[in-house]
Amino acid sequence: MDFAFSAEDEAFRAEAAVWLRAHADPAVDRRAWERTLGAAGWIGLSWPGTGYGNRSATLTQQVAWAEEYARCGAPPRSGHIGENLLAPTLFACGTEEQKDRFLPPIAAGAELWCQGYSEPGAGSDLAAVRTVAVRDAHGGYRVTGQKIWTSLAHEADWCFVLARTEPGSRRHQGLSFLLVPMDQPGRVDVRPIRQLTGTSDFNEVFFDGAHARVEHVVGGEGQGWRVAMSLLGFERGVSTLAQQIGFARELERVVGVAVETGAAADPVLRDRLVRLWAELRSMRWNALRTLGGGGDAGASSVAKLLWAGWHQRLGEVAVAVRGAGAAVGPADWTPSEPYTLDPLQHLFLFSRADTIYGGSDQVQRTIIAERVLGLPREPKGVV
């Protein structure tokens, strides 16, 4: 597919850039920012049609929007899980009633979502989930179990939960995909997880008899694995290109520090910086190729392997160009601010998780081996 931008695409890009410069404020409340995006129709550009209060954009226009969003340093999104994961899943597997109920609030930035997949002992091995959902006397479900590494659960209004609805079922069988409201005091408990960076983007979520309505099962009872796998196919796409714009800005910052500190004179460090630049360009062309091609079973796994390892190497170079100064915080310790990091220190520490979350490197390599290269599946029960 030719990914050249047409005149219409460039006009769309210019409109997006002007709007973002006028409205994007890094200090704005994230929920308020979602409502601002929704009011202007910028949520749901990839959705089919415009019947939910959203604009519709071609693939190249979606790329232009994502790039301009990253380029202007707009606030981090809180609504991307609903917009880019749940919404496409509802279009693929949901009922008309589910679409009518949930898509307009997502498009308006009025309802935020989180993803209830991973559990202790069932992270990369998603089929091992133990959370259960039992029918109650009123025809709904009572959900009980624990989810972990749940991004933005502390902000979310709803959670899509993979749970067992068939007693005694194992592995991929007997799972259902339920839409569960988070505002259930005493039945839904969200506990932030403090990370190496001192921040808490991830959470543990405990469900203790949380209520879910039977009409909020997506794809039908017992079809949860099919729906969950359909959703995972939407995880990586246009957003990868926006991510790379952010990576390029981080690389520029690291290069700037290398020049300031004199580290750029070291031929070994200079070689590492050049390699990072070249690899980032290669990742962009690979992302454009896979967006235009389609049908590549291993494309998302290859992309995850590429960017996760690249970002970790960038974090390591970010520390190396600082020398001994990388071990010193930007501010003196105080009881109220005991853990302050500068941007490059944050980059180094946060990137340590890149090869784990979103599917570990080992899992991505297994997917490529089995689904792309056709190698034999790993025998079960082998330690």
Annotated active-site positions, please?
235
**How far is it, in rounded angstroms, from Cα 341 to Cα 367?**
36
DSSP state string for 120-158: TTBSS-GGG---EEEE-TTSSEEEEEEE-S-TTTTT-SE
* Max Cα–Cα distance, the chain, nearest Å: 72
Count of other CB atoms within 10 angstroms of residue 82:
29
The Cα angle at residue 237 between residues 70 and 115, in degrees rounded to 5 = 90
**How far is it, in rounded angstroms, from Cα 61 to Cα 45?**
9
Query: Do the beta carbons of residue 269 and residue 321 sit within 8 Å?
Result: yes
Q: What is the per-residue burial (b if ≥16 Cβ within 10 Å, else e) of 16-45?
A: bbebbeebbeeeeeeeebbebbbeebbbbb
The Cα angle at residue 313 between residues 307 and 318, in degrees rounded to 5 = 120
Query: Do the beta carbons of residue 263 and residue 320 sit within 8 Å?
Result: yes
Residue 301: closest CA among 286, 282, 311:
286
Query: Do the beta carbons of residue 176 and residue 217 sit within 8 Å?
Result: yes
| CA torsion angle 284 285 287 289 (round to 10) | 170
Q: Cα–chain-centroid distance for residue 17?
A: 23
Sign of CA dihedral 324, 330, 332, 336: negative
List of residues 6+ apart from 125 with CB closer than 8 A = none
**How far is it, in rounded angstroms, from Cα 78 to Cα 262?**
39
